[in-house]
């Protein structure tokens, strides 16, 4: 097994200490902020050391190759994007505090996503469609490393997909901007250019995200084991469970406990560093 160490500032002292702790026989530089400690002998103490030094770590199989995968699927808000889009709409509508409180409860798994989205969308009743465009143009920010991750994934032959419990207003634009292959999300009901406070059709929630992933796998003729999925909240758990490799990105504890790997300090480009390229 190999140990991948990543961080915003990985020092030689930490690398040597971790190599000794893990019984690694070689330290290999993967990128400016990522290193591979090869052929480790044990894992005890690694988690505590990395938590104390704010480093991300992952114990990986030596033959974990990026080119063995065919699809990378990402949650949108607080994963591919560094914002919660619905919270930003609510900020313009002066209901951000109420919406953010519901969002947080959902991310922690305290209420169902369907109930949460219904409540949050109701608080946006009356918002003009121009406000959504304003959020997209002025507040939409990609998570650090997102474009690097996508470029390298595409170069390796992977298809790209965003699966969001948010809304198609944003996923459609992001899909075009980043040239993603697939995008799935919920749809606002709009009347006379204003949000009615309702969601059209069946809400795409926890189960729906996994179903959307499955449908794309069937369309591409690939197995679930050929999928890398990335998410941060309880609503992503079924989607993550349906993938061959799941990655908790700056995620809630319940997600980190169930994901294959967790990234808490580096950006999305850290996803690529987990694999042989």
| CA 118 to mean position of chain CA atoms | 23
Of 14, 56, 75, 232, which is the active-site residue? 75
Q: Give me 211's structure tokens.
A: 């179903």
Structure token digits, residue 80: 């591919």
**Are 265 and 54 in contact, with CB atoms under 8 Å apart?**
yes
Q: Do the Cβ atoms of 77 and 135 come closer than 8 Å? A: no
Asked whether 182 and 120 are in contact (CB, 8 A), the reply is: no
Q: In the annotation, is 130 catalytic?
A: no
Active site residue 75: yes
Compute the CA torsion angle 241, 243, 246, 251 (nearest 10 deg): -50
Catalytic residue among 9, 44, 68, 77: 77
210, 163 Cβ separation under 8 angstroms = no
Contacts of 24 (CB under 8 A, 6+ apart): 3, 18, 37, 38, 39, 40, 41
Contact 226, 218 (CB under 8 A): no
What is the rounded distance in angstroms from the CA atom of residue 7 to the CA atom of residue 55?
5
Catalytic residue numbers? 75, 77
């Amino acid at each position: 097994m190999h140990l991948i160490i990543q961080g915003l500032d990985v020092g030689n002292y930490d690398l040597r200490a971790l190599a000794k702790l893990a019984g690694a026989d070689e330290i290999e530089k993967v990128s400016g902020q990522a290193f591979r400690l090869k052929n480790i002998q044990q894992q005890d103490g690694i988690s505590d050391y990395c938590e104390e030094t704010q480093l991300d770590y992952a114990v990986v199989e030596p033959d974990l190759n990026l080119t063995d995968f065919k699809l990378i699927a990402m949650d949108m808000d607080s994963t591919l994007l560094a914002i919660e889009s619905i919270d930003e709409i609510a900020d313009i509508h002066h209901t951000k505090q109420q919406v953010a409180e519901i969002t947080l409860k959902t991310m922690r798994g305290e209420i169902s996503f369907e109930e949460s989205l219904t409540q949050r969308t109701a608080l946006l009743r009356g918002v003009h469609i121009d406000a959504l465009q304003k959020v997209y143009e002025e507040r939409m920010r990609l998570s650090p490393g997102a474009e690097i991750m996508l470029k390298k994934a595409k170069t390796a032959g992977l298809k790209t997909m965003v699966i969001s419990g948010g809304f198609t207003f944003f996923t459609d634009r992001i899909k075009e901007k980043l040239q993603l292959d697939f995008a799935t999300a919920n749809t606002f009901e709009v009347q006379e250019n204003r949000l009615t406070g309702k969601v059209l059709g069946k809400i795409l929630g926890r189960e729906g995200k996994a179903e959307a992933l499955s449908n794309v796998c069937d369309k591409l003729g690939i197995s679930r084991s050929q999928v890398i999925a990335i998410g941060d909240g309880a609503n992503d758990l079924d989607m993550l469970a349906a993938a061959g490799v799941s990655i908790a990105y700056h995620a809630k504890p319940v997600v980190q406990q169930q994901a294959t790997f967790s990234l808490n300090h580096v950006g999305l480009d850290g996803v690529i560093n987990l694999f042989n390229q």
